[in-house]
Amino acid sequence: MVIFPAIDIKNGKCVRLLQGRAEDETIYGNDPVTMAISWTKQKCEYLHVVDLDGAFDGKSPNEDIIKKMASIVSVPIQLGGGIRSMDKIQRMLEEYGIQRVILGTAAIEDTELLKRAVDKYGHRIVVGIDASKGKAAIKGWVQKTDISAVDLGRKVKDMGVNTVIYTDIAKDGMLSGPNKQETKEMIDQTGLNIIASGGITILEDLRQMKEIGATGAIVGKALYTGAIRLSDALSIA
């Protein structure tokens, strides 16, 4: 299981949100690049970066930061947030040096884009499925849908996707533990590689995610508050 330290960028700063709400943010640093360097020095294998401005607005003032980060750090980066065109996918993967991009809203609203991206870039395209009570949400989680998260997982698998980041919105940033039942359901019913996200609070949460077969776990607020030390998380993984 791979541990992904999370770096969420909003207005050029490193932040964490509660349940994805833009108004409920805590700033953990003014320089996301420095934060990325810190995690790599602590031996992380992969970074999970989210451009929150892109996720909410579809446009981003943070691309220079992301480009600089990818050029400096020595570990691969998976990037999500506002990636809704082939031009941007190509720019991130081919020009900026991002290893994988995450399509969320586009996986629901523009399946043709997802198909084209997967046809061209294969497993470098990851889908983010963000769920509220088992239903997928889009556009920075502000818009709920009637699409079952599991059904969406099966659909993107049929299109050639093999990795999904599954986030329970109610758990994100709350330090209340992950939704083990729904994460396990995604793993068992889709056969996808599932990266668990949202609510990882203590080391036991990581043990449970590994036990149910998650291929990765994204850890955000618990790392920033010191509730989990990255070295301990890596030893479990």
Active-site positions read 8, 130
* Side-chain-facing half-sphere of 133: CA atoms under 13 Å: 3
Note whether 47 and 7 are within 8 A (CB).
Answer: yes
Helix (H, G, I), strand (E, B) or coil at 41: helix
Helices (H), the chain: 32-41, 52-57, 63-72, 86-90, 105-109, 111-121, 149-158, 180-190, 203-211, 221-225, 230-236
Note whether 172 and 199 are within 8 A (CB).
Answer: yes
Instruction: Report d(CA 23, CA 21) in Å as an integer.
Output: 5
Note whether 138 and 110 are within 8 A (CB).
Answer: no
Q: What DSSP assignment string belongs to 58-85?
A: S--S-HHHHHHHHHH-SS-EEEESS--S
